[in-house]
Structure 1
């Protein structure tokens, strides 16, 4: 069953007292997606480049016979791309397709109280704001909740 987060089911997710999120870093920021959207997390894989693809598409990964499109989140957010061997791939499913979110570091799976959720601040860069569902205010940092539907369906 596809539980992908979008505007329609964000409200039902926030009706619960807590929500489970997979946390990760992109640059200096802390981001998350709902655990239900994550199929698995894998180490760096061999990429097959795609000619004429947008610069944020790193290429394709062959994951046990399934083709996965790798989306470089640093490039998508227009951050400086630092060549790292330590990046991680968060594999998410949308309909019948698999996508990899290429992130700098996996943080943890965490249960976050939904009462700490706030709408996306207007002060965020317009380009990035379009990919965000909102922000969780935690004790030590802000945790930005990404909207996978908007990341995967970029126009």
Structure 2
């Protein structure tokens, strides 16, 4: 299924391109700028943190560092997983802190050009719109590009729906 996205991406090599690590939450494919991704790993030993925001699933140890584990599914306002499939984590850095973004799955790296890029659709749910930089249409699939800075600003007040 990802092969079709690759063939489309290869056609975009004529101009400036950007590389994205693809991650999945359910059937939805998201992209994270590759320069923001430091690790891809299987999360283990997550310790819950009392009174933390619902997006925070806890803390984990990543090569001797204490890392905050953030659930992308919860961050996007999606229901909890119903299967027991293995989750993956993406290591992200922000402001000198390390975060583990918990996702349902990790795909491959896509090199995409401006030809497939579109602004954030106005009909995208407000929670997703505030966390997105745009979308890429890839052979019948939509890749939602996530704004890592906005994604990790879970402690900051969010804009109200409809606010400019």
Alignment partner, residue 53 of structure 2: 54
CA 56–84 in structure 1, closer or farther in 2 if over 3 Å, else same: farther
* RMSD of aligned alpha carbons: 1.3
* Counterpart check, 1:88 vs 2:88: yes
Q: CA shift at 1:85, angstroms? A: 4.2
Is structure 2 residue 151 aligned with structure 1 residue 151?
Answer: yes
Aligned equivalent of 1:140 = 140
Q: Give the greater-gyration-radius structure (CA).
A: 2
Length-normalised TM-score, structure 1? 0.85
- The whole-number CA distance in structure 2 between the counterparts of 1:127 and 1:115 is 26
Please give the residue correspondences for 1:83-122 in structure 2 after superposition, counting only pairs within 5 Å: 84-122=84-122
Aligned residues: 140
Counterpart-to-counterpart distance in 1, 2:128 and 2:90: 19
Q: 1:36-80 CA deviation, whole Å, 9 max, x = no partner? A: 110010012110111100111000111111111111011111111
TM-score norm. by structure 2 comes to 0.81
Following the alignment from structure 1 to structure 2, what is the Cα–Cα distance between the partners of residues 114 and 69? Answer: 33
Gaps of 5+ in 1: 1-15
Aligned to 1:43: 42
Equivalents in 2 of 1:92, 1:144: separation in Å?
18
